[in-house]
Amino acid sequence: MLNAKFLEEMASKLNEAVASSPARDFEKNARALLAQGFARLDLVTREEYDVLAQRLEKLEARLAALENKK
């Protein structure tokens, strides 16, 4: 899956391309294309992930407690 290093390298390469390119709106167009691509990946934010992880921990604890009552 995508990692921070990959994204940083992509941003760096895009910045280099913008600096050496006569087209000033290249960065805007590239960002729009990347945003569309990421939207299709159905990603979640770190905050959403943390909330879901906490909920899962609580549910696992409740399940373990119910299983121990049997």
For 28-39, the pLDDT digits (tens) are 788 888 888 887
Banded model confidence at residue 24, pLDDT cuts 50, 70, 90:
low
pLDDT value of position 14 = 79
pTM of this prediction?
0.45
Least confident of 4-8, 9-13, 59-63: 4-8
Q: Cβ(30)–Cβ(43) under 8 Å?
A: no
Q: Could you give the count of Cα atoms lying within 13 Å of 5 in the half-sphere of its Cβ?
A: 1
Distance CA 29, CA 6 (A): 19
